[in-house]
Each structure stands twice: as structure tokens, then as C-alpha cells.
Amino acid sequence: MRHVSGARCVKCGKMYDADPNVTTCSCGGILDIVYDYEYIRTKLTKEKLAARKNPSMWRYRELLPVEEDTPDTPLRVGWSPLYEEPYLAEMLGIKKLYVKDDGLNPTASLKDRASAMAVAKAREAGAEVIACSSTGNAASSLAGNAAAAGLKTYIFVPSRAPKGKVAQLLTFGATVISVEGSYEDTFELSKAAIEKWGWYNRNAAINPYLSEGKKTVSLEIMEQLNWEVPDYLAVSVGDGCTIAGVWKGLKDLYGIGFIDRLPRLIAVQAQGCYPINRAVEQNRPWEPMEENTIADSIAVGVPRNPDKAINAIRESDGLTVEVTDEEIMAAQKLLGRTCGVFGEPAGVTGTAGLKKLCEEGKIPADASVVSVVTGNGLKDVANAIKYAGEPITIPGDMDRLLREFEERGIRP
Amino acid sequence: MRHVSGARCVKCGKMYDADPNVTTCSCGGILDIVYDYEYIRTKLTKEKLAARKNPSMWRYRELLPVEEDTPDTPLRVGWSPLYEEPYLAEMLGIKKLYVKDDGLNPTASLKDRASAMAVAKAREAGAEVIACSSTGNAASSLAGNAAAAGLKTYIFVPSRAPKGKVAQLLTFGATVISVEGSYEDTFELSKAAIEKWGWYNRNAAINPYLSEGKKTVSLEIMEQLNWEVPDYLAVSVGDGCTIAGVWKGLKDLYGIGFIDRLPRLIAVQAQGCYPINRAVEQNRPWEPMEENTIADSIAVGVPRNPDKAINAIRESDGLTVEVTDEEIMAAQKLLGRTCGVFGEPAGVTGTAGLKKLCEEGKIPADASVVSVVTGNGLKDVANAIKYAGEPITIPGDMDRLLREFEERGIRP
């Protein structure tokens, strides 16, 4: 990989070769892939990119840590739509709002980007089995992307994972171990099993390549905005890997001169579980928290990638905000009604946080903001129904319909 | 619309102006939009199309019945991936297999194509409210596409509609009437209400524009195959509108000279409900049937578009085949395990039928086949879980994991 200089520890700075099996630093720190930006500048131009037809994350090969001959992974991951939402922008009192619907990925979440990268690197490593622990989306995306590539998967999920995600795993043919306990318990069991059997490790905070997959969401956003940098970028935070990836993509684009400034990140966590935001807000090391939120994908009390996430928020002069489950579910409805976008609870948490900051007057009226919806609402139908209300259930009778409309004050 | 000649009744041949509000013929027949192929040939070339960046159904404007100044609808509908599946092709004993995953549309089904068209035509008609009855997917797609465009919706669904679809409707802000009865009862109540309040009618067999939206799936398939026509195209059949749309798209491409032959259609229905296939097989008029299948989207005992569908199967020298619920759910797993594609039961019924025909030796070994997956498996998680099995549920303990693997004969 001529364009990759190596993998650098975010804690002690030690450099490693970018081998497909590289994991964490001997000091325990997480590694960050380092590119040769000067070399990439000679290989990639905006015009070259614009001429590419590949509507997937692999259109950005020069910025991805894969060998030249590593094939694109089979599922079409990435190039999700970025919608301009003037109506919702007006409601929130900001100048411009864009919603990136990453729930339209093949297995319906942003995690497909990381899993596709894991599959590419597992192939480079010659592995036939990949494993991970996950609150659900990393799992289902790995199972789907690996199945399409003919690789076996062992997946560890906490037993609270919503049914939609478990249904995906089983249909994709994964061996699924549902752990009765927290995400922490799940992670530890997966770690022990991966060590024992030597499976390729897709745990996002161990494998430094995964945030390189996730960063493609920022590369796309910027290309879709024709390289006009927004003032803010709002995203939900759980394990910390997504916001770290988002930031990495922006910095890479800055590094190769495709953008001339960087947006401020808006890091949104649930009020019932916000160890990363708390560390930033109180300017002290992070500490574990309970996992007390409806937004299962970001209910991570012991985040596995706090360093990269906290760095990203600080470096970007970012904002942090916490939202209640009620605010999350209100954002789900708001996005549905005004944008036609149906996100899962954790998927709309970024938008919920943005709304809260707007209401608190913390976002200037002339701001342009991108809000990333990270997963599809169909992943967690039970909660959507609980908050969205019930349909009008009647027999097929016009008089009855008239009566119901009248009683409910519906005037067609 | 210079490129549209009018709307012709499929029963009596009477021509109507292609007005946005046109519905059915005075004889009761369904209308079919007729194009001026000679004119379109002067406006659209393969090269022109290839240069377009618009990754949505609206890239085919010259073949769509909308005014030049009608805006694209807001959600990014269409341009779903077409995957080549060599492994599954080999399993089925055919030369080439392509799977079109239309579950990756914004509201997760092929119906988004029709609903986007309905929204475009409603805007042309100056309507502010759209209504429809649906087994679920037409409903949720209409609710989503209309919400994004700022239009109100009234939606009638049979009370058996799966929760995933109802959750979508409510989140998109539709007024939902859940009818305790068959699809027929639901349809009749919607018809009465639409007449009473004058809403824009998105009922697929009434509104002739909708199959023009659906046909974009064939336009895409052919462009994605670089205009190399497959031997067969397999699709599930319920109301009859989808297969009619698929066929219309192919005929349009033939009409403007983009393809030089037509594939044979494979019309797949559920064994518990196959009025259209029965009519073709027995060569007599269709008759109502019970709606006895797990595949809710195609459980249509009184199809509303039988004429166009039966014509399409006959004209294409098509094959018909019926599959059991078990065969449908086996196809769901098969697609998941071998392709990483998770389709809803009705969505994978086309593949189930293809598999059955292959096993019966009815598809030649040198055939190339496209199978369209029409909806996402996340729409009906309950059935997926019922058939996909359960995960291995244990506490976070390595000894316990070893014991479970041993007892289940799992050898990592």
C-alpha cells in the first residue's frame, strides 16, 4: 500500500506496519491509519473522482487502506443519499440542513461501511472466518457483507438486541451467540473466543481499519456537497468509532487539499448513557456508565474507542449534547413527517441533539448543518410503534369511517 | 408531454388524454400509457443516459409520463443494486444469475417507484392529499414519499399488515385506517372514501401512471446489464401491477430500439393465493381466491390489475409457478446466506419460484436469469425469526460457550 505510511498509536505515538492483522498497540492504545497525503495528491483529483461511476464507498480507493488488487466487496455499501431539507431547517431556525440517510445501506446501517472494510481486510489476511461483538448493527452488517463474500461469521450480541437485527443475523447464516449481560460482557466473551480460535477480528476498537470504512460517510457528504464545508456535522455517539471515523474522513480530505476548513462536530449521546460526552464536558478521563436508553446501538457504558472519539470532539471544537429517550423518539417522528426518513432510535439521536441545541440557541441562524441518520427504523419496529401511536382500526364500513373521523376531529 | 401519445384502455382500446387525473376507461378497463417511440428515439440515446449522474428512477425522464418541468420527487428512489451471483447460479444449475435488491429503496420496497410517480402526478394535478389502499408496501412508500414532498396521506391497510409497515406509516405521519377484513374490503372502503373527499388516487390498478413508475426497475436492470437481455426475469405476483410494470419497461426499451429481444417472464405466486397464474395456466378468466400465504404483499385474492399482468405473462411466452410458504422462507434464507440479501417473504417469492423451476428442470443450464427482490426482510421480522431459528443464548462465560458449541456440533 504505497499510499499508507503505517498505523500510529493514538496514545503513545508508536508506529506499526499496516499489516491486515494489526490490532492495538503494545501500550494498549488504539491505532490510527496514517496516509501519505503528498503521494495521494498526485493520484487523486476532484475531477477524477467526479468521473467515477462506482456508487459505493470503493470509489475512494486512494483514501482507503487496501491493496490495489483487493477486490471491491460484493454488497453495494455507501453512496447513500444526502437530502437537503429546507422545511426542517426552517423549523429548527437554521439556514441549511442536510440529512444523510445511511439507513439505506445494504443491511440498513452505517456499519456496513466498517464491515465491508473488515471483509476486504480479512480477504487480504487470507481469513475464512470473521467474528465480532456488537450491539446489533455491526453484527448484522458483518454477517451480510461476509455472507455475500463467502466468509463464515461468529457474532456475539447482548441479549437486549432488537429482533430486527437478530433476524438479519440468522438469515445471513451467522452463528449467533446472544449474551445475557451488558455490552461489556458480550465484548469480553467475543475477545476470549477470537483469541482461542484465531478468527479475523472485526471489533471496531481493536481493528484500526474499521474507522477507515466509516470515514467514507464524510468523504461522500463532502463530495455530495461539492466540497462546500458545512459549519456543523451532527452524529450520535456510542462506542465512539463512528464519530472518530467521521472526523478521520474530514481530516483526510483536508490533508489532501480537497477542503479548506473543517466543520465543528456535534456529538450526541443519550442522557441515560453518555460516558464520552461527560469526559469532554468535565474535562477528565472517561468513566463507565449504566446503559439506560432505548437507543440500543449507542447504549455503550464502556466505550471501546473513547480516545479517538474524545480527540475528534476536542480537535473540531465540537459541541456535546445529551437527549432523553422522549427527545429521541420525537426526532424519529419529526424526520419521518418532514423528510420521509425513518431512522432507528440511535440513528436519529444526532438529529435529536441538533434540535435541542437549536432550541437552546446554541446554533447560529446562518449555520449550515449535516445530520447523519446512522440506521434504519425498520431495525426496531417495536419502539417505533410504541411512540408513533396506533392506526384507526375499523371494519370495512363507510359510516363507521365517518364516525371515527368525527370523533377524532379528523377533517379530510 | 410531447413524448406521450395518450392512455389506451387494455380492454376496449379507447384512447384518452394523459391528464394527471385520468383513471380507468368507461368500459371498466385499465389504461396503459402510450409513448411516441419515434420521438423519444430522437431525444434519448444510450450514450446520453450513460453520462447522467442522477442515481434515481428520474434518470429515465424521456420514458416517464411527466411534464418537463415537474420536479424530481425528494426521496432517492431507484438505482438499486443488481448483483451478479455466480455461487447461487451454480447451486441452481444455471449459467448466470443476477439479483436486483429493490428492498434498498427509501422505504424498503419496489413500491417506492410507483409512489414517487404518484407524488409527481399529484403535484401536477395540484393535489394536497393522496390516498391509497395497500397490503402494506404501497402504503408505506406513499406515506414516505408524500411526507418528503409535503403532501398529506390517508392510507387504508388490511389489519393483517405486518408491524414494520404500520410503524413506517405512523412515523411518516399518515392517517392510517386499518381495516378488519380482506384486501378486497380494504380496497372498497378506500375507493368510497377517495370518491367522497376527492383525494388524489394512488390505487395502482386505477391510476395508470403507477406502473410507469414500476417499470423503471426494468429500465435499470437493462442499463445495469449494459443492454444485454437476460433469458428470463423472475418476479413475484400479487395485484399484478409489478409484473405489468416490469413488462412495460422492457417493451418501451424494445420500442425505442435499446434492446433487440425480450426476456421470458417467470410469474411466481404463492400456492395459497394464485388467481393470476391459475387463469394463465387454465387459459380462462381469473376468479377470486382465498388469501392464504405468509407473503402478505402478494396475498391478493381479488387482483386489481389482472388484465395487464396476464397479458404480460402471455406476451412474453412466460412461465408460471406456485410456491409454498416453506419454499418462500427457504428462499429467504438461501438469499441471505449466499448473497447477503435479506428480502421479505413476498420479496423473495420470485427467487423461490426460480429455484423450483430449476429443480424441475424447466430452466435450461445455459440460461441467464434476473430475479427481482421486491422488498426488505426488515419489513416482516416476525416471520423471518420464526423460520431462521434462534441464537445460542448464554451468559458471558467461555466454558459455557465451549459446552454449547460441543453439544450443537459446532467446530470453529
Q: What is the pLDDT of residues B153-176, one digit of tens each?
A: 999 998 988 878 888 999 999 999
Nearest to B340 among A144, A175, A397 (CB): A144
CA A407 to chain centre: 43
| Per-residue confidence band for A182, with pLDDT thresholds at 50, 70 and 90 | confident
A199 contacts B157? CB cut-off 8 A: no
Question: Which residues, numbered 152 to 181 in chain A, qualify as contacts with chain B under a Cβ-Cβ cut-off of 8 Å?
Answer: 154, 157, 159, 163-164, 166-173, 175-181
Find all residues with CB under 8 Å of A301, minimum gap 6, and list them: A182, A183, A184, A273, A275, A288, A289, A290, A291
The verdict on a CB contact (< 8 Å) between B391 and A178 is yes
Mean pLDDT of chain A: 95
pLDDT of res. A160: 85
pLDDT above 90 (res A389): no
Kindly give, in sequence order, each residue whose CB lies less than 8 Å from that of residue B344, ignoring residues fewer than 6 positions away: B103, B109, B295, B297, B374, B375, B376, B377, B378, B379, B380
DSSP code at position A210: H
Q: Which residue has the higher pLDDT, B202 or B264?
A: B264
- How many helical (H) and strand (E) elements, i.e. helices and strands, does chain B have? 16, 14
Interchain proximity B189–A398, CB inside 8 Å: yes
List the single residue in B with minimal CA-CA distance to A384.
B167
The backbone torsions φ and ψ at residue A362, rounded to the nearest 5 degrees and listed phi first, read: -90, -5
The predicted-structure confidence for B203-219, as pLDDT tens digits, reads as follows 877 899 999 999 999 99
Q: Which of A316, A375, A380 is nearest to A351 (CA)?
A: A375
Which of A213-227, A340-354, B171-185 shows the lowest per-residue confidence on average (mean pLDDT)?
A: B171-185
Q: What is the pLDDT of residue A397?
A: 94
Which residues on neighbouring strands pair with residue A35, listed in sequence order? A4
Whether residues A332 and B107 touch (CB distance < 8 A) is answered with no
B-contacting residues of A 101-120, CB under 8 Å? 101, 104-108
Encode pLDDT of A294-345 as tens digits.
Answer: 998 898 898 988 999 999 999 999 999 999 999 999 999 999 999 999 999 9
pLDDT of residue B381: 87
Cα–Cα dist B341/B88, whole Å: 12
b/e per residue B268-300 (b: at least 16 CB within 10 A): bbbbbbbbbbbbbeeeeebeebebebbbbbbbb
Query: A180 and B395 in contact by Cβ < 8 A?
Result: yes
Shortest CA distance from A104: residue in chain B = B104
Mean pLDDT within A187-199: 94
Minimal Cβ distance to B391: which of A55, A166, A393: A166
Residues of chain B contacting residue A199, judged by C-beta atoms under 8 Å apart: 412
Of A164 and A253, which is predicted with more confidence? Answer: A253
pLDDT at A288: 95
Gap between the Cα atoms of A87 and A97, Å rounded:
9
Record: contact B395-A185, CB cut-off 8 A = yes
Q: Which residues 6+ apart lie within 8 Å of A137 measured at CB? A: A107, A109, A110, A111, A165, A297, A374, A375, A379
Banded pLDDT at A204 (limits 50, 70, 90): confident
Could you tell me if A246 lies within 8 Å of chain B, comparing CB atoms?
Answer: no
Amino acid at B308: K
Closest CA of chain A from B98, distance in Å: 12
* Mean pLDDT calculated for residue range B343-367: 98
Is pLDDT at A56 greater than 80 in this prediction? yes
Nearest by CB to B340, from A148, A166, A197: name it.
Answer: A148
CB contact (8 A) between residue B385 and residue A166: yes
On whether the CB atoms of residues B376 and B136 are closer than 8 A, the answer is no
In this predicted structure, what is the pLDDT of residue A255? 98
Q: What is the mean pLDDT of residues B96-110?
A: 98
Model's pTM, two decimal places?
Answer: 0.96
Encoded amino acid at B236, one letter: S
What the block records as the C-alpha cell of A163 is 429482533
Q: Is the model's pLDDT at B42 over the cut of 80? A: yes
Mean pLDDT of the region B294-319:
93
Distance CA A76, CA A383 (A): 28
Q: What is the DSSP string of A102-168?
A: GGGSTTSBTHHHHHHHHHHHHHHTT-SEEEEE-SSHHHHHHHHHHHHHT-EEEEEEETTS-HHHHHH
pLDDT band at A136 (very low <50, low <70, confident <90, very high): confident
- A81/B contact by beta carbon, under 8 A: yes
Helices (H), B301-408: 306-315, 325-339, 345-359, 381-388, 398-408
Residue A183 pLDDT more than 90? Answer: no
> For residue A366, which of A105, A157, A137, A89 has the smallest C-alpha distance?
A89
For cell 437507543, what's the residue?
A: A295
Cβ–Cβ under 8 Å, residues B99 and B373 = yes
Rounded to 5 degrees, φ, ψ at A241 are -70, -35
The single residue listed with the C-alpha cell 445460542 is B392
Query: Residue A285 above 80 pLDDT?
Result: yes
